[in-house]
Amino acid sequence: MGFNRFNQDDDYNNELENNEQGQNSVRESFREEVSIFSEGLIIEGNVSVESPLVMKGKINGNLFCKQSVELKDNATISGDVHADSLNLESGEIYGDVTISNQMTLRNDTYIKGNIKADTLDINGNVEGNIYAQSEISFSSDAKVQGDVSALYISIEKGAKISGAMNIGEMAKTQEPVVETPVYEEPVVSEEPAVEETVEETQEQEMEEQNDSLF
């Protein structure tokens, strides 16, 4: 009897271990969850996302993402972008871009605004100043209209850059000051509206008539 009970306890412990592994795998799937804004989706207003984001639609407002952002299928953002990393595979951004780590612009992409990141790999079109804390790499199809500042810069043959260049330690003095916008709720007056009832109006007219008689 004791031997059988030992087997039952052992099976129970194995079952608990399997359940814990299953729960851990579920937790991992939640950690790896990705937000997807599908093609054709249009969002009017600012967006804040904590998970990685794959963007295929359009945002008319600022985007704040604590993790990675990937723009695909001609996605468009009309507003500032703040994220951990950015991969602009296909699409356009009209606003300033601030990235904590890696930023990549593929061919046939466009940004109109200033860019700040740790490292940049540019093969698209940029109209605005670019600052990298470490390195910028310009591929052959890169087109930039604006000043460029980085600790290290590499440029492939065919890239076109119209603007001043600051390379090395002096580039740190060119670091832009980026302020996160603060959005305030509209102020609504708490004073009650003044409305006159029909009775009050009639009483006032009667008083005026009585005063005219005397």
- Summarised one tens digit per residue, pLDDT across range 131-180 is 999 999 999 999 999 999 999 999 999 999 999 999 986 566 555 544 44
Q: Answer yes or no: do 52 and 15 share one domain.
A: no
> What total of structural domains would you count in the chain?
2
pLDDT at 210 over 80: no
In a domain, 68, yes or no: yes
| Residue 189: inside a domain | no
Q: What is the average pLDDT across 199-209?
A: 63
Residue 19 has pLDDT above 60, yes or no: no
Could you read off the pLDDT of 20-48 as tens digits, one per residue? 554 443 333 334 588 999 999 999 999 99
Verify that 11 and 68 share a domain, yes or no: no
Residue 25 forms part of a structural domain: yes
What is the average pLDDT across 9-14? 53
DSSP per position, the chain: -HHHHHHHHHHHHHHHHHHHHHHHHHHHHHHT--EEE-TT-EEES-EEESS-EEE-SEEES-EEESSEEEE-TTEEE-S-EEESEEEESSEEEES-EEESSEEEE-TT-EEES-EEEEEEEE-SEEES-EEEEEEEEE-TT-EEES-EEESEEEE-TT-EEES-EEESGGGGGG----------PPP---SPPP---HHHHHHHHHHHHHHHH-
Assess whether 48 and 130 both reside in one domain.
yes
Q: Considering only residues 185 and 113, tell me which one the structure prediction assigns the higher pLDDT.
A: 113
Residue 7 sits in which domain range?
1-32
Does residue 180 sit within a domain?
no
User: Does 155 lie in the same domain as 92?
Assistant: yes
Mean pLDDT, residues 48-59: 95
Which is higher by pLDDT, 206 or 40? 40
* pLDDT for the residue 108: 86
